Amino acid sequence: MGEEKMMTANSEAAAPAAVELPGFVMSAEEAERAAAAAGVDTVEDLLPLLIPSAMRLARPPISRFPVGAVGLGESGRVYVGVNLEFLGVPLSQSVHAEQFLITNAAAAGERALRAIAVSHMPCGHCRQFLQEIRGAAGIRILVTSDADAADGRAPEWRALASLLPRPFGPHDLLPKDAPLVLEPHDNPLGDPVDAVANGFAAGDLEARLKEAAEAAARAAHAPYSGCPSGFAVADGEGKVYAGGCLESAAYNPTLGPVQTAIIAMVAAGGGPTGDVVAAALVEKDGAVTAQEATARIFLAGVAPQATFHVYKYRSSDV
């Protein structure tokens, strides 16, 4: 028994220590250096060591249950995702760590994810959302909480396909060559035809918000509704953060543009959502999946002081 305890203690002592994250994205060079410093063979081996640091970046004021996810992109860059919860708005506005990670990677222009380490087993919502990535079945997943403390067994990598063996996804609804979530999009919007505002941001901020929201709408992943939309927010320092909707073939796991804009704010090191002082939404006029009402609910709950401008776009063909 004493010898067994000594072996366990020695193995624990030899285990690589957790590694602190420098932010929500690590360059390929930073990741390689961190892996070498941690004494692991590959950047993939580094991912589980980053999970404790990722969990500390989570913002779950309702559940008090932090979740962290770290992914390795085809480029060699490492992306972080955390769960976000918002007081005063419906739970459906919450962001899952895997959703944050994918949004973060898409914003950086990543084209594929090779591996993801996550602190807790992905829920069905996230398993479905991951299907929007081309080749999702082959993404390798490691759940750090799978470690067995009783026998010292380390968690194992598995293919995403093992977590959702017969998935419904883009292949059921879209042509094979349709761009998926980590691929370039250039959505036609037409021209602005209408605008509604509850006040105007100072100086050139209104123009910058509109420009950022429009760019996010053009880059949005909205193949199922055909209604791309973009949302931009500004903090008290005049910094602008934007995101476009990222739809899911199963509809409900879809991230709206409000959520992706807040992800961008958090990933850039921004403050709490209550710091938002102005916002803008760009969407199609008469959209079958409109975002304005949701945006108003969100802002009323987290940043009621913010000005809000809605821009409706319509194609000249209509």
Residues with a known catalytic role:
98
**Alpha-carbon span 165 to 23, nearest angstrom:** 33
- Rounded distance, CA 203 to CA 197, Å? 16
Closest among 206, 229, 205, 25 to 107, alpha carbons compared:
25
Which tokens belong to 195? 């605008």
Q: Concatenate the DSSP letters of all residues of 233-282 into one string.
A: EEETT--EEEEE-B--TTSTTPBPHHHHHHHHHHHTT---GGGEEEEEEE
Nearest to 78 by CA among 99, 56, 48: 48
Tokens of 23: 């932010």
Q: Which two tokens stand for residue 301?
A: 């709950």
At 292, give phi and psi (nearest 5°): -60, -45
Question: Which residue pairs from 34-40 have beta carbons closer than 8 angstroms and sit at least 24 positions apart in sequence?
Answer: 40/16
Helix (H) or strand (E) holding 309: strand 307-314
CB atoms within 10 A of CB 32: 16
- Using CA atoms, how far apart are residues 142 and 122, in angstroms rounded to an integer? 10
What is the phi/psi pair of residue 176, to 5°? -60, -30
Query: How many CA atoms within 13 Å lie on the side-chain side of 225?
Result: 24
